[in-house]
A and B are shown apart, each in its own frame.
Chain A
Amino acid sequence: MKPRTVELLFLVLAGAAATMAYVSVYAGRYGEVSQASIVYALFFVGVFVALHFVVRWLLPLADPYLLPVTALLCALGLTAIYRLDPRLAQLQGRWLLVGAALFILTVVVVRDPLRLDRYRYVIGAIGLGLLVLTIVAGTEVRGARLWIRLFGMSIQPSEFAKLAIVVFLAGYLDDKKVMLSVPTRRLLGVPVPATKYFGPLLIMWVLSLVMLVFMKDFGMSLLFMAVFVALLYMATTRIVYVVLGAGLFAAAAAFALAVVPHVRDRFDIWIDPWRYAETTGYQLLQSLFTMADGGVVGAGFGRGYLLYSAGDPVVPDMATDFIFTALANEMGLLGAVAVILCFLLFVWRGFRVAVWAPDGFSKLLAGGLATAFGLQTFIIIGGVTRLIPLTGVTLPFVSYGGSSIVANFILVALLLMVSHRTAVVHSGDEVQRRRLAELR
């Protein structure tokens, strides 16, 4: 079967699942199945079918699983958000359209990811600029400084900075990987490269430290540092960077724990939420209680107890940070594990693209994006389930949040482009090969 046929088949399945979930929630809320609920679902399916045709037109050999998984996750997210607050779901629906538009724009304008490598320093500077902007002009929400206000909207620049920095690092590290991996001397018996090549590592470390202290956000800081270390490791295959990076980050974390009260609080809650049950630990405990109520099979979409009579959710920030809790309650352990496996499927396809990618830049780009996506998923699901200290990052495609959904649509577009290039190089499809070559 051709990849696009597979994609369409799975998109239809995802669309059917989305429709059923949506109708179920609608019925739970209004006690009826109406045309309106089906129209909304069809609109959603329409958006993804449109994306499918854009991919069919420009990236016919791209990976067939990424788009259906994206559709499924978006559908779950929209349904869960609608279930909590229909007004938010409308906004999210609009953001989904913006995301889809940017997806198309990215595919149409970039076409071949290798073209991005030419602008690597510009893109890197934009990424850095976005982070600096957040630190300078950001507003604090729940203790973390992650948002900037623009035209009455809250934008989370770090979501976009994440993509820009992965693109930059993929190009930069691919260039410098030989020098970075050749040891010139030994430190404590371990062969290490020349000091000047540690520059970027130190800059990233300082950057993540600055994020930790000024943005007070452990999650984003960890994400940036880890993605960087992963890319460095993929580029050089030298485990010493991983050890060093982990050590440096641990030192930064210990420092933040001592200096930033917000980070300290999060850590204390993680160690013993029961001690702070009525105050700072309330949110995490309610999250655990709400998940425990889901049991193995869950309450059913629209049938869990997620809203108090006044309409506010049982866990504060349920539509954003704690969306997974809502899913676990209503879909049960089985559904929640299925959601985790969907994310794993996405990550697997990402790494698969990286492994098959024909050039270093494409490899690092796909590997970096897959790492960032997977790690962000791990940080937030691990946070709301008390596996790791809670830090507020979004669950990709599922959480409410415009910046997140738009940035992740761009991420999918980039992965699809890399996978298309990979397939073209491996398949020997002359037509496509010529089309790619013409772009350069």
Chain B
Amino acid sequence: MADGAVSLECPKELQRVPLVGNERKFPWITQTVSEIVEGRTPIWWWVFFLPLAALALVGLLCIGYQISNGVGVWGENHPNGWAWDITNFVFWIGIGHAGTLISAILFLTRQKWRTSINRASEAMTLFAVMCAAIFPGIHVGRVWMAWFLAPIPNANAIWPNFRSPLLWDVFAVSTYFTVSVLFWYTGLVPDLATLRDRAKSRVTQFIYGILALGWRGSNRHWRHYEMAYLILAGLSTPLVLSVHSIVSFDFATSIVPGWHTTIFPPYFVAGAIFGGFAMVLTILLPARIVYPKLDDLITRNHVDKMAKIILLTGSIVGYAYLMELFIAWYGVNPYERAAFWNRAFGWYGWTYFAMMFCNVISPQIFWSKRMRNNYVVVFIVCQFVNCGMWFERFVIIVTSLAQDFLPSSWGHYSPSWVEIWTFAGTFGIFLSLFLLFMRFLPMIAMSEVKIVVPEADPHHKPGAAH
């Protein structure tokens, strides 16, 4: 250490907040994350899992009931051809955006804080996309004929209609799911090997061994791994933006007033990230309570950053809402004007104001750092955002369809118990799957977190001893 008078040390307030708290070392990270999987199943886990699995079962029974009888068991009608089904689809697919955004875009932009949350949010993405995929699957009148959507040459030489946004959806969502699974699994491989190596029973060792694909941690493995991870991140990045853009095309390319809007793609993507981060926080904040040790991995800093993203995307969404209104007015088209008037002051006006409050007003509290660091406030705002994003899709779909061009065909919609329980059931599926994920897979990417602790970077630091 030089004895010069000038210290190269940053002033304390300008120092970067460490990504892992309490200067935790590699073994601690490995132990903390692995013991969640290796330990005995805690009581609380059963307490949550059993009712949620039951709820999932109720949802599946509702789906069975619906498929046996017809879409008529829902509340849909003429003119409301879509309602909760597509609302739920867009809701879940939107939630599925945060994971890949965190993994891919933040990876490419070298946002190192992503490492502690990317595994869980990617898993959440997959489960959300699974829940989302249920709805377009079951909402069709003849589920058993849904394979007509696949572009397979058949005896009648009929192809799907490539002009239809619903078909684009099929491609977009299936591609997204596939790439997300690959990305997630690639990232899991080194951690699975860690679990294999720590396994105490032959069975777990065998299973993790199979899943770890023979990972030995050699340099060559790491080289290939990082290359693959980078490529997959590159592939995923456009998908993050494209999937929800394409989902928005379902509406934007139609001629229904209230749907026929060019602002939809960016607005939907922003909304998806917004809702996705809210759901990540919804899951991780309780996880920190049951596993207090994770405090050092998912720090106040992480929550703060995610709250900022929620504030940003929420404001983008708010801008889009206002711009829609402005364009409806500015465009002078009486049908557009009526559609937006009805959104706010029509039959379902209360949902519009619920959406406005939840999505635009409530996140504004995050301008305050104190509020961002108050976990209770953050959790509550995230719940508002979850509700608000669901309302957003409901508002777009139902208010536009219920009152479109011909006043003679206007008609109210209200959900039936089957729809309500099917939607509840998807929460059961989603959360059960997440609980299973917590029990059986490392919910934090150990190998990646280790890269961002100081121990991984044993180089000269200004002001530090050689």
Query: Are A and B physically bound partners?
Result: no
